[in-house]
Structures are given as C-alpha cells and as structure tokens.
Amino acid sequence: MTVLRKREETMRKFTLASVIMATTALTTPAFADDHLKIVDEPLELTIHLHWPRQQGYNENFPVEKAAREMTGIYLKDATAGRNSTDSMEAMNLLIAQGNMPDIVGGHRIRQPVNQYGPEGAFLPLNDLVAEHAPHIQAFWDAHPELQQAITAYDGNYYYIPYLPDGMFGRAWYVRQDWLDKLGLEQPQNVDELHDVLVAFRDGDPNGNGRKDEVPFFAREWEEVIRLVTLWDARSTGSDTFHDFYVTDDGKVVHPYAQDGYRDAMSHIAEWYAEGLIDAEIFTRGSSARDYLLSENLGGMTHDWFASTSGYNAALKDKVEGFDFKPFLPPASVSGVRMEEHRRTPLKPDGWAISYMNEHPVETIKYFDFWFTEEGRNLSNFGVEGETWDMIDGEPIFKPEVLNSDKPVNTQMYEVGAQIYRGYWMDYRYEWQWTDEDAREGIKLYEANDLLVDQFLGVSFNEEEQSVYDKYWPSLYTYMLERQQAWILGSGDIEADWDSYIQTLDKMGYSQVIEVMNSAYQRQYDE
Ligand code: CA
C-alpha cells in the first residue's frame, strides 16, 4: 500500500493547512447569521459514503444543500463499490485503489479505520478535534468511555461515529387479552413464565377449539437464546447477537463457553421439547411476528418497542380484543430482572479523514458542525421549515411527516437526515413517532433497574487481529451449529459439554480470549 509513503507528505500538508486556516479565521467577518461558516469561498470535499440504504452520497439531499449554505463546504460523491451492497467489500476496494476521497464514511468503518489508520491511511483525530472541534470534544469530555472504545491500538482515534441516543430497544411482549381470558397475571419470574406458556399452549386462548397457539415466538431466532438470561447466563454482551461480554471481574469471555450457558440451554431445550417455543423458530424468519400476530396464534415475544406496539393499532379490527403489551423481564432463578438488550451508545459507522485530504482543519470543523445545535437538528430532523418546525424550543416534525404512510425514518433517509455520517442521534426524533403503548412500556422499563453494562468492542493490533481472524470464524460457526442442535434435541448439552469445551480449545478458543483480553486491557485499563 502507498499510504505509508504518503504519510509524511500528508503531515506537511496538514501543518500548512493549519497555518492557512488560522490566518483565514482572523479575517472572517463575524456576521451573526454566518456563525457556522467554515470557509469564505465554497470548498469541495470528496466523500465515500457506503451504507445499507444507499451506496453513495446524494449531492441533492436537502440536508446537504442546507449544510452547504451554513458551512460553505460542499460534499462531492466519490463512493467506491457502488455496485455492491456490501460496505466492507466497498471499503476493501477503496483501500486497494489507493486514491482516496477526502472523507471516508458509512457502514462498519470502525474496524478498517482502526486497522489502516495507524498504518497511515487515515488521520488521527485526537489533536484535530481538541484544537478545532469544540462540540465533538465536549461530547467526548462527557462520554470518555466512548472515546476510549473507538481508540485504535496506537492510542489514537480515527473516526467520528454515529452515536445513537436513547436506552431501551427491545422488550418482552405478551398477549394481555390471552392472559385475561385465562385468568392469569403477567409472569413475574421463571416459574410463572413457564406456567403462562403452558396455559397458552393448552388453554385455547384464541378460542378456535384447536391447539394451534405458538406460546413464544421471535422474528430473530437469537431471541430464543436470550432466554438463557432467565437462568443467569448471557447470550451476548452488546447489541450484536452472540457477542463477547465482560465479566464482573473485568475479563472478556464468550457466553457460549460458560457453565451457566450449559445449564440454561438445557432448560431452553426442555421448553422447546414441551412445545412452549415456536417449533419453526430457526426457519420462520422475519415474517414470524407479522404472521403469528395477525393469525391470532402467537402469545409472547421479545422485540423492539416501537414496531411491536404498532400491532395494536394495525390489528384492532382484524383480531378481536387484540392487546399486545410490554411487560417487565421475569426475574431469573436468582431473582434478577435483566433486559440484556439495549441500544448501543456507539456504532461502527461514521466518518474519517483520509490521508489524501488537504483540508483536515476545515474537514474536522465540518464534522464539528454536525454536533452544533443547528447541525444536530439538521442531521436528525432534516431541514427546518421543510420537515419540522421549532416549537417552544423543541424540533417538532410537521404533521404531514408524522401522518404520512411512509415511515418517518424512510422520509428522513430520503432527505439526507439520519444517514451514516458521524453524528449524534437525538432521541426526540424517534419519540415523536413512538405510540402511546410503547411510550408507557419504555417508562416502565426506565423505572426499573434492568440494564447491564455493554461490551463496546476492542481494537486489535496487527498480531491480535491475525489470531482472531485465524480462529474466530470457525469457532463461531461451530458454537452456533451446536447451539441449534441442542435446542432441536439432537444431542444433550449436559452430556456433550466436556467434549464441546475440548473442541473449542482445539479450535483456538483460548487464543482468541487471550487477544481479546490483551486488547481490552490496553484499551480500557488506564
Ligand atoms: Ca387455539
């Protein structure tokens, strides 16, 4: 790669640019309505922005036009790999081509920027932000653990992330009308939960005279693994399924190699055998919730607040008495109520400055613009007066946005808001289109101490990365294969456990754990 050669050259340019910028700043007139202007003359910066909903940056986004007006900076699309929907593939292509745009952003850039940043492909942002980006710096000062989490192995950080807002994502949901019909209360612990699921299976709560109810179902089969939390085990340490987690004594481990997991999984296999869990849990897929609720078959699930509460309105004329209600996580066998899922405070998405950028100071000021009040509103709600108005100091979506048939998030993507630039989400954006049932559920969850700390990931050095890449993919595949087999009843986890653990060791589990922990200690033990 040519990036190492170019680095010194880049650093010279960088110093020069700082000097120029410092001079310009002194001569910029301080007009009140120009307070967000970064440059006097329009400055074009090229951008690679590859993300799930769009492979490229649309220069006609109303949000882009407004940002130009406010800052003087124009983004020009230079996205690599536009014919692939795979952002990692696009990134590899970009790195391989060597000729990089000024800004590199989009989906899942954290790992590549932390790998190639220290090699010289991206600029370290620590000093640039400290000197020129007061709003981003203020965010880090208030959330030092998040800056720590994105820091690469050389101690620098290389991207400004998409930072979600809000705490709760998923919740437990039960057919309250089925409970009422059967004379049952919401289950408060594992035993009561088991009783409710049995009653759903046997009591014909949908009243059709057939034993066709599916007591527990999920759109994502991984939610069945999450039931291990009822027996004090873990299914993941983050908002990503099957992730590592950090133990109480500060060690990174994988949940599927713990004794607690073995015991919990044996209970889940029993529940599956008893017909309490959807027999088609691994195959039904993303339409499970839609199908099982609208056919009046599904009794309980664990899923996102906003979209799951939406079924009450959607099915009120179709399923008589339909009432799908969020309820508190039942207490585990040791009495712990845990909601394992939460919104991550930090995404692997965002944007970085490439080594070829000749305007790093202007670029970091531009990144900082999105953390000002005006920029944050623009990135969250779109253009003021077009999609929202400021009412009593609050950005409020226009009624036509809230009442449109098109989901609000889709409307935002179309105008260039809520896209995967480095920005700080404002939860008020989502709260406005969260219905009353979901709001009540969220308040209920907030009123109880349900959340656990999240594992925010580590940044490997080259050697650690190679160990991880060598062993982890096949370990992961093997663990998931065994997991499904045990639930489906092929094999008995208690009987198989010792040989399973031995196989994990042969496959390099302890090496992976070693590099996870060396990286974790370097990153978080300060
Ligand atoms: Ca029935």
Give residues with Cβ within 8 angstroms of 356, minimum separation 6. 6, 10, 99, 100, 101, 102
pLDDT at position 230 is 98
| 160 and 174 both lie in a single domain | no
The structural domain count of the chain equals: 3
Please write the tens of the pLDDT for every residue from 379-434.
999 999 999 999 999 999 999 999 998 989 999 999 999 999 999 999 999 999 98
Banded pLDDT at 19 (limits 50, 70, 90): very low
In a domain, residue 341? The reply is no
Instruction: Say how many Å lie between the CA of residue 270 and the centre of ligand 1.
Output: 22
**For the residues of 398-411, what is the DSSP string, one character each?**
-HHHHTSSS-HHHH
Instruction: Say how many Å lie between the CA of residue 522 and the centre of ligand 1.
Output: 56
User: Nearest CA to 159 among 232, 77, 103, 217?
Assistant: 103
| 207 and 153 both lie in a single domain | no
Q: Distance (Å, rounded) from C-alpha 37 to C-alpha 30?
A: 9
Instruction: Say how many Å lie between the CA of residue 431 and the centre of ligand 1.
Output: 36
| 160 and 11 both lie in a single domain | yes
Instruction: Say how many Å lie between the CA of residue 140 and the centre of ligand 1.
Output: 54
In a domain, residue 336? The reply is no
Instruction: Say how many Å lie between the CA of residue 244 and the centre of ligand 1.
Output: 40
| 100 and 213 both lie in a single domain | no
Per DSSP, 118 falls in state: T
Contact 433, 402 (CB under 8 A): yes
User: Nearest CA to 226 among 127, 300, 162?
Assistant: 300
Give residues with Cβ within 8 angstroms of 85, minimum separation 6. 52, 55
Contact 356, 468 (CB under 8 A): no
**What does the mean pLDDT of the chain come to?**
93
Which amino acid, 488?
L
Instruction: Say how many Å lie between the CA of residue 310 and the centre of ligand 1.
Output: 24
| 117 and 90 both lie in a single domain | yes
Q: Determine phi and psi for 152, rounding to 5 degrees.
A: -80, 175
Is residue 161 over pLDDT 50?
yes
Instruction: Say how many Å lie between the CA of residue 273 and the centre of ligand 1.
Output: 19
Here the CATH number for the domain that contains residue 154 is 3.40.190.10
Instruction: Say how many Å lie between the CA of residue 205 and the centre of ligand 1.
Output: 6
Instruction: Say how many Å lie between the CA of residue 343 and the centre of ligand 1.
Output: 36
Handedness of CA 210, 212, 216, 219 (dihedral sign): negative
| 186 and 82 both lie in a single domain | no
If one counts every other C-beta atom within 10 angstroms of the C-beta of residue 410, the result is 11
Q: What residues flank ion ligand 1 with Cβ within 5 A?
A: 204, 206, 208, 210, 212
Instruction: Say how many Å lie between the CA of residue 225 and the centre of ligand 1.
Output: 26
pLDDT at position 6 is 47
pLDDT at position 12 is 44
Is residue 92 over pLDDT 70?
yes
Instruction: Say how many Å lie between the CA of residue 200 and the centre of ligand 1.
Output: 9
Strands 245-246 and 214-216: unpaired
pLDDT at position 338 is 96
pLDDT at position 15 is 45
In a domain, residue 424? The reply is no
Could you tell me where the DSSP H helices lie in 143-184? 144-150, 176-182
Give me the residue label for tokens 């000749």.
358
Instruction: Say how many Å lie between the CA of residue 487 and the centre of ligand 1.
Output: 25
Is residue 298 over pLDDT 90?
yes
| 317 and 350 both lie in a single domain | no
User: Nearest CA to 371 among 167, 143, 138?
Assistant: 138
If one counts every other C-beta atom within 10 angstroms of the C-beta of residue 344, the result is 20
Q: Distance (Å, rounded) from C-alpha 322 to C-alpha 199?
A: 18
What is the mean pLDDT of the segment spanning 97-103?
93
Helix (H, G, I), strand (E, B) or coil at 295: coil
pLDDT at position 25 is 45
Contact 115, 108 (CB under 8 A): no
Please write the tens of the pLDDT for every residue from 241-278.
999 999 999 999 999 999 999 999 999 999 999 999 99
Q: Distance (Å, rounded) from C-alpha 513 to C-alpha 107?
A: 26
Instruction: Say how many Å lie between the CA of residue 4 and the centre of ligand 1.
Output: 67
In a domain, residue 257? The reply is yes
| 188 and 230 both lie in a single domain | yes
Is residue 105 over pLDDT 90?
yes
Instruction: Say how many Å lie between the CA of residue 374 and the centre of ligand 1.
Output: 54
| 161 and 199 both lie in a single domain | no
Banded pLDDT at 23 (limits 50, 70, 90): very low
Instruction: Say how many Å lie between the CA of residue 210 and the centre of ligand 1.
Output: 4
In a domain, residue 243? The reply is yes
In a domain, residue 30? The reply is yes
Instruction: Say how many Å lie between the CA of residue 209 and the centre of ligand 1.
Output: 5
| 491 and 357 both lie in a single domain | no
Give the max Cα distance, the chain.
82
H and E: helices and strands count for the chain:
22, 14
| 39 and 65 both lie in a single domain | yes
Residue 499, both tokens: 């040989």
Instruction: Say how many Å lie between the CA of residue 216 and the centre of ligand 1.
Output: 14
Domain that holds residue 485: 462-525
pLDDT at position 526 is 58
Higher pLDDT, 526 or 141: 141
What is the mean pLDDT of the segment spanning 16-30?
44
Instruction: Say how many Å lie between the CA of residue 181 and the centre of ligand 1.
Output: 13
Please write the tens of the pLDDT for every residue from 451-469.
998 999 999 999 999 999 9
Q: Distance (Å, rounded) from C-alpha 116 to C-alpha 123?
A: 10
Instruction: Say how many Å lie between the CA of residue 297 and the centre of ligand 1.
Output: 7
Contact 122, 130 (CB under 8 A): no
Contact 90, 55 (CB under 8 A): yes
What is the mean pLDDT of the segment spanning 477-500?
97
Instruction: Say how many Å lie between the CA of residue 325 and the centre of ligand 1.
Output: 20
Instruction: Say how many Å lie between the CA of residue 201 and the centre of ligand 1.
Output: 8
Per DSSP, 185 falls in state: P
| 377 and 298 both lie in a single domain | no
What is the mean pLDDT of the segment spanning 124-140?
98
Could you tell me where the DSSP H helices lie in 275-369? 288-294, 305-315, 360-369
Please write the tens of the pLDDT for every residue from 221-231.
999 999 999 99
Please write the tens of the pLDDT for every residue from 175-194.
999 999 999 999 999 999 99
Could you tell me where the DSSP H helices lie in 416-491? 428-431, 436-446, 462-488
